């Protein structure tokens, strides 16, 4: 629940590093929850998320470009490992999310982060409800709503124009 609260608030901030660091906290809680439930595939994806964010942050701070091979290789390794740890057909969702997550992490703008996050959060909601992980959705559904609000606030709604002062004509 604490991870969801952190994620819920941070997605409203228009700062990539803040959002990414909150996803690390969120992913730690999610990984622990799924490990306790015996669902290895989503736990692996959560641990992969943490690793990928830390790698991306390191690369960005060094001013380098990420290795294209790693951007493809890491999600592929996670997707293949998910195949061997599947518990239900719903685990197939976790074949797609590593690729979406890699696209999100290496995106240059927070708009892409919000959209990818929304899509993945929806996929996670479907998975959690399908496998009976209702406790994870106590925080997940508000996070999805918060993400939708952030998309509306930052990406859809037109920014208000500040009216310039017009000289009064009554002189």
pLDDT tens figures, 85-137: 788 888 888 788 888 888 888 888 888 888 998 998 899 899 889 988 887 78
Asked, for residue 101, whether it belongs to a domain, the answer is: yes
Nearest partner of 136 among 27, 12, 13, judged by Cα: 27
Domains in the chain, number: 1
Contact between 139 and 5 (Cβ < 8 Å): yes
pLDDT computed for residue 62 by the predictor = 92
Asked, for residue 171, whether it belongs to a domain, the answer is: no
Its domain, for residue 120, covers 2-155
Asked, for residue 163, whether it belongs to a domain, the answer is: no
Asked, for residue 149, whether it belongs to a domain, the answer is: yes
Asked, for residue 36, whether it belongs to a domain, the answer is: yes
Asked, for residue 37, whether it belongs to a domain, the answer is: yes
- What average pLDDT does this structure show over 28-46? 83
Q: Burial of 151 by CB count in 10 Å (0-12 exposed, 13-18 middle, 19+ buried)?
A: middle
Residues in the chain: 171
d(CA 140, CA 128): 9
Q: What percent of the chain has pLDDT over 90?
A: 5
What is the tally of helices (H) and strands (E) in the chain? 7, 0
Asked, for residue 19, whether it belongs to a domain, the answer is: yes
């Amino acid at each position: 629940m604490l991870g969801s609260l952190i994620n819920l608030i941070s997605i409203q901030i228009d700062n990539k590093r803040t959002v990414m660091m909150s996803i690390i906290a969120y992913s730690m809680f999610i990984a622990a929850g799924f490990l306790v439930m015996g669902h290895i595939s989503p736990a692996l994806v959560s641990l992969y998320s943490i690793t990928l964010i830390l790698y991306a942050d390191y690369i960005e701070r060094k001013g380098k470009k990420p290795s294209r091979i790693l951007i493809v290789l890491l999600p592929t390794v996670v997707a293949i490992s998910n195949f061997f740890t599947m518990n239900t057909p719903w685990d197939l969702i976790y074949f797609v999310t590593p690729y979406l997550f890699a696209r999100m992490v290496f995106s240059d703008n927070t708009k892409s982060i919000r959209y990818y996050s929304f899509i993945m959060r929806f996929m996670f909601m479907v998975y959690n409800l399908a496998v009976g992980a209702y406790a994870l959705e106590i925080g997940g559904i508000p996070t999805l709503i918060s993400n939708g609000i952030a998309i509306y606030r930052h990406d859809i709604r037109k920014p208000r124009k500040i009216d310039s002062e017009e000289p009064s004509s009554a002189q």
